[in-house]
């Protein structure tokens, strides 16, 4: 292992403190907390990219096993929804942020002055990379201990109710009213090696919710999920029968008031017209009498 800077030494020590684990192979830990911007010109083994790939699979297996052994009555669909929700980018980034990983990531100079725009995705990546590093250094027990302490407490039966595929669920819901949702990439943030995408859902020309993700697909999925949660706000969908009845009554009352106002205007126009005609006839009669 090459000689470390003071920053690297400090961040390694802080990472071990957060993880409550001492690494035999410090290089594994250093790679897991190192952003690709800090390893330009070096091998990919010096950043978290390869470890993230392995960590994703290990994390998925741990979460799947825990859900399987915790919720005996759930079918495959429910278990899958729990897993997808728990290992989503936003979930991992939130956990990593709460643990304090933002202070241990080693960024390169290219990120200086950018406000670390890719921090959200970096937090997610580092969490997965650390799971892999723990697995490689201390076996499945070390990885599982960390995941059970930091992520599993968020697991709940309610996650089984969330749509596995928000985009499909939204399309199915909106098409009941003849609406087909479309998606548009509205913004791209961060450097090429660490992009963050922002997508928005549209119903015709009506812009609905936005979503952020590491990929366009993830951004669209999050936008769809947020739209599903706010359907009643956008379209009045997903409401109870009482809420629908109340909304219908308000709409009918509004339509009736509008019709009455329109009729009143027509009557006034008609009365004015008749008044003008009557006045014109009187003038004609007066002129005939005068002649």
Gap between the Cα atoms of 113 and 106, Å rounded: 15
Q: Say which of 128, 137, 194, 218 is annotated catalytic.
A: 128
**DSSP string of the chain, one letter each residue:** -PPPPHHHHHHHHHHHHHHT---S-HHHHHHHTB-GGG-TTS-GGGSSHHHHHHHHHHHHHHHHHHHHHH-TT--HHHHHHHHHHHTSHHHHHHHHHHHTGGGT-B--GGGTTTT-TTHHHHHHHHHHHHHHHHHHHHHHHHHHHHHHHHTGGG--GGGGGS-SSHHHHHHHHHHTTT--EEEEEEEEES-GGG-EEEEEEEETTEEEEEEEESSHHHHHHHHHHHHHHTHHHHTSTT--HHHHHHHHHHHHHHHHHHHHHHHHHHHHHHHHHHHHHHHHHHHHHHHHHH-
Q: Is 40 a catalytic residue?
A: no
Quick check: is 20 catalytic? no
Which among 52, 56, 124, 220 is annotated as catalytic?
56
Write out the catalytic residue numbers.
56, 128
């Amino acid at each position: 292992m090459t000689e470390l800077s003071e920053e690297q030494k400090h961040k390694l020590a802080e990472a071990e403190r957060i993880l409550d684990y001492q690494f035999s192979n410090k290089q594994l830990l250093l790679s897991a907390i190192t952003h690709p911007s800090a390893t330009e010109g070096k091998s990919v083994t010096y950043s978290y990219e390869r470890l993230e790939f392995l960590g994703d699979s290990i994390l998925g297996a741990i979460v799947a096993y825990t859900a399987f052994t915790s919720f005996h009555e759930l079918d495959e669909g429910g278990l899958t929804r729990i897993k997808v929700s728990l290992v989503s980018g936003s979930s991992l980034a939130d956990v990593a942020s709460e643990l304090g990983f933002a202070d241990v990531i080693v960024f390169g100079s290219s990120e200086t002055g950018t406000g670390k725009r890719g921090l959200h995705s970096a937090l997610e990546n580092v969490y997965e990379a650390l799971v892999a590093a723990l697995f490689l250094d201390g076996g499945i027990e070390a990885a599982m201990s960390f995941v059970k302490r930091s992520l599993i407490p968020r697991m709940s039966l309610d996650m089984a109710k969330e749509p596995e595929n928000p985009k499909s669920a939204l399309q199915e819901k909106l098409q009941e009213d003849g609406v087909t949702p479309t998606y548009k990439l509205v913004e791209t943030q961060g450097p090429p090696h660490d992009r963050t995408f922002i997508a928005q859902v549209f119903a015709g020309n009506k812009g609905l919710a936005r979503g952020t993700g590491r990929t366009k697909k993830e951004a669209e999925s999050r936008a769809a999920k947020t739209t599903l949660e706010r359907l009643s706000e956008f379209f009045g969908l997903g409401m109870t029968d009482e809420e629908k009845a109340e909304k219908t009554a308000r709409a009918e009352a509004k339509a009736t008031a509008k019709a009455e106002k329109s009729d009143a205007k027509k009557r006034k126009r008609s009365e004015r017209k008749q008044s003008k005609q009557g006045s014109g006839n009187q003038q004609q009669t007066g002129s005939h009498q005068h002649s």
